[in-house]
Amino acid sequence: MQITYLVSSRTGQLQLDYQDTERNLTFTGEEIRALDTEIGTLITVTLERVPDLRSIYLTLLLPTVNLGEWKEISFATQAILTTEHTTIGGPQLVKGALQSYRALPLRGTARSVEF
């Protein structure tokens, strides 16, 4: 899995590029949901929606990084793949938990880039 998250792109919008063995996706603007929390910024995108079956979301946990005098800094983080199970009849027809999770440890690099 490779994730690239840009807080400022050539278009001036947020951009997240996601690549794994099954998908190569780019998200921009309102397709990206960001939530600042005490543990860092949670960046969420929708990877897949299959009506009457499931939705798959990627949430990336980004720590606050101060680059200071350095051009780049490495850090450890996590991504969570959430599968939300759905039915056409509504959530009450799903047996068991509506969401299942897969946590993925990641290594990241923060860098300042000029456009």
Instruction: State the pLDDT at residue 13.
Output: 83
Parent domain of 22: 2-111
Q: Tell me the pLDDT band of 102, cut-offs 50, 70 and 90.
A: very high
Residue 24 tokens, joined: 């190569």
5-51 residue pLDDT tens: 988 766 678 899 999 999 999 999 999 999 999 999 999 999 999 99
The model's pTM: 0.87
Beta strands in 2-67 (DSSP E): 2-6, 15-19, 24-28, 33-37, 40-50, 54-62
Q: Based on the structure, what is the number of domains in the chain? A: 1
